Structure 1
Amino acid sequence: MINYDKVIAFLERENPDAEGVSRFKQAYHTFSKTGEWHRPYQVLTAGWQKLDGVLLMTPEDVLDADYRVYLTATTERGLRELLLAFPRRCAGMFHPTEQWMDNGIHDVLEGEFVHTDDGRFYRGVKRGSGAVVEYRTISKRKDAVAADMRKLATLKGKLESSQFVVEGDLMVERAVKDGLPIEKILYTTALLEASEGQSLLKSASADNISCYQVNDGVMGSVTTTRPVPPVIASVYFNFRDFLAESGKSNFHFSPGCTMLIAEDIANPDNLGMTLRTADAVGVSAVLLSRIGASPFHKNCVRAARGAVGRLPLYYATDTGPAIETLRLSGWRVLGGTSNAEKNLYAMKFALPTAIVVGNENTGLSIETRASCTELVRIPMASGQSSLNVGIAAGVLLYEVARRCRI
């Protein structure tokens, strides 16, 4: 249930002079009196414990689009949530309120910026929904669709195509439900044996996602998972460098948010669990070191339970300069290490804060420790000196969330 008073308060605080805000306020004023919208609005919101973004959609009658979309957000996560909620196959004229939103828009949508009498807009559709929809059977491994999917089995293929693969009925169902920019789905007859599988295909069809029925031989040729999964999907992604060539950050520094920095986590299952935890606690973004497991490894994607695709992900060849950039922007950067003097529960917290966790065996590098604002340890009873990196990240992040009421 949307609280329109909170929505209006958020819009007035973030962009009080915008024409889109004024129009919506007038429409809501009429609605509150008559119970009817004089101008039909669809309102989407983002945020967990507080409002992080609002998207206003109205049918577009003049410009070449299905909807005119007013878009405002305070965090990259909030922006991504709103864009993922935008319906597939619908063209939108998106009016972002701030320049920093451009990168996030390019991550989820495909199109171009245009200038009209009403201002600067991005005319586009969700990635993967611009192609012709197909529903057919593939019986040969040499089929072009199967060949394209096969390339995504390697990291090189993923990076070249800007796509990763989601495997299994539960994970593909979640990807469809979350509105991820899916290009295509491949499935076997095994998916049709359960009502849940049939429901998944109906949802995909309703979202105009291309679906291809394949035999076990074709499925086995495009994935190394055994036994072969009943369904897989390819999803678009954009893995951005945290620092641009100019040295400036590509990340939007929001004052009231948290970030997770994961340095050289080697095991993809551990990385996936860490990303899942970060997603659950509501971090604005995750920064990964270039060395370590890929977030798009199939084990990481599976363990992350949907976090890969929902979370804004960045990488840094060297985490030191990235941490320094955060510090210069007013962020507190806390490095988690078992030999730190300061106890987590004795710390004072303030946002924005970044939590840094390190390699499963060696922990944080010497350079990263030196870059952090402070080092902090999780207190433990005798007998253990460390925790699994995913669990440690969860303890640290949830303590920040609890203290700061994110």
Structure 2
Amino acid sequence: MKEKARGSKRIHNKDKIFNKPEVEEREDLVIGRNAVIEALKTDRNIEVLYLANSKLEGSINAIVKLAKEKKILIKEVDKKKLDSLCNGAVHQGVIAKVTPYKYAEVSDILSLAEERGEKPFIVILDEVEDPHNLGSIIRTAELFGVHGIIIPKRRSASVSTMVYKSSVGAIEHVKVAKVTNLNAVIDELKEKGIWIYGADIRAEEYSYQTDFSGPCALIIGNEGKGISKLTLKKCDKLIKIPMVGKINSLNASVAGGIMMYEVLKGRLR
């Protein structure tokens, strides 16, 4: 039988929050060489490729070659134009304007697991707001065989320019579903026999002690608040990462990466 969640606890992955002016994140741009190359290798609809007016060398040549093969419009522009498009983010001389990211359905994630003949392995992000964290989690998820990531529509980072860059193109290979009611989706997953694990610093069981061999969904909470109380109560089991240092918290993406590795390790035995 599944174990019941042990009360309301907070997640261990707290990030330091600095007061910075908010910049609107665009969902129609892919910036940086690696991210653009990955986008060009997929069926993603790229409307135009912007290149800085400079000498074409290194990976830029590969980008131009791929773009020409796909008959994508290439525009050479001043570096200042690229800077303004991505609000000053590091673009490495290349930006692709794309059709905004198309989110998957939760059913698509489950279908992928079935197609691969594998038990579902899902990551649920409960209000992870930093796009860098979301991008890093997506990158790690792709490496560790996660079938898909579920995020809420409100109070969460979305797939944006910064997420593309942080994921180093992995977003092109990972299904991300954006849902209106995260807790309702968790209930649906539980009805399908998927165990829900919550990452929480005050859990009684360590990640290395947990059997992740069955269908599972791993919940990673908000950088500061952790998993919300209602969502925490829906977990079948709470787990924590062993730590021996004086600082008892981890960055959301680091904590998520460790947990995802534990799931993969358990399935490879």
After TM superposition, the score normalised by the length of structure 2 is: 0.80
Give the C-alpha shift of residue 213 in structure 1: 1.8
Whole-angstrom distance in 1 between the partners of 2:90 and 2:258: 35
Equivalent position of 2:52 in the other structure: 188
Whole-angstrom distance in 2 between the partners of 1:225 and 1:283: 32
Residue of 203, 206, 217 corresponding to 2:69 = 206
Q: In the alignment, is residue 302 of structure 1 matched against residue 165 of structure 2? A: yes
1:226–1:357: structure 2 CA closer, same or farther, 3 Å change rule? Answer: closer
Paired residues, what number? 241
Q: Within 5 Å, give how 1:44-59 maps onto structure 2.
A: none
2:194 corresponds to which letter in structure 1? W
Give the C-alpha shift of residue 251 in structure 1: 4.7
Equivalent position of 1:338 in the other structure: 201
Q: In the alignment, is residue 375 of structure 1 matched against residue 233 of structure 2? A: no
Equivalent position of 2:255 in the other structure: 392
Q: In the alignment, is residue 263 of structure 1 matched against residue 126 of structure 2? A: yes
Equivalent position of 1:171 in the other structure: 35
Contact 2:103 2:177 (C-alpha < 8 Å) held by counterparts:
yes
1:180 corresponds to which letter in structure 2? R
After TM superposition, the runs of 4+ consecutive aligned structure 1 residues lying more than 6 A away are: none
Contact 1:271 1:293 (C-alpha < 8 Å) held by counterparts:
no
Equivalent position of 2:267 in the other structure: 404
2:123 corresponds to which letter in structure 1? L
Note the alpha carbon deviations across 1:35-87, whole angstroms, 9 max, x for none: xxxxxxxxxxxxxxxxxxxxxxxxxxxxxxxxxxxxxxxxxxxxxxxxxxxxx
After TM superposition, the score normalised by the length of structure 1 is: 0.55
Give the C-alpha shift of residue 390 in structure 1: 0.8
Considering only CA atoms, is the larger Rg found in Structure 1 or Structure 2? 1
Contact 1:272 1:295 (C-alpha < 8 Å) held by counterparts:
no
Q: What's the % identity of the aligned pairs?
A: 24
Q: Within 5 Å, give how 1:57-68 maps onto structure 2.
A: none
Residue of 96, 103, 110 corresponding to 1:252 = 110
Contact 1:180 1:310 (C-alpha < 8 Å) held by counterparts:
no
Could you say what secondary structure the match of 1:327 adopts?
helix
Whole-angstrom distance in 2 between the partners of 1:285 and 1:184: 28
Contact 1:189 1:213 (C-alpha < 8 Å) held by counterparts:
yes
Whole-angstrom distance in 2 between the partners of 1:195 and 1:272: 25
2:153 corresponds to which letter in structure 1? R
Whole-angstrom distance in 2 between the partners of 1:238 and 1:336: 28
Equivalent position of 1:317 in the other structure: 180
Could you say what secondary structure the match of 1:354 adopts?
strand
Question: RMSD across aligned C-alpha pairs, in angstroms?
Answer: 2.4
1:252 corresponds to which letter in structure 2? L
Contact 2:120 2:194 (C-alpha < 8 Å) held by counterparts:
no
1:304 corresponds to which letter in structure 2? S
Equivalent position of 1:274 in the other structure: 137
Could you say what secondary structure the match of 1:219 adopts?
helix
Give the C-alpha shift of residue 175 in structure 1: 2.1
Give the C-alpha shift of residue 154 in structure 1: 4.8
Consecutive unaligned residues in structure 1, runs of 5 or more = 1-152, 159-163, 243-248
Larger relative contact order (Cα-Cα within 8 Å, sequence gap ≥ 6): 2
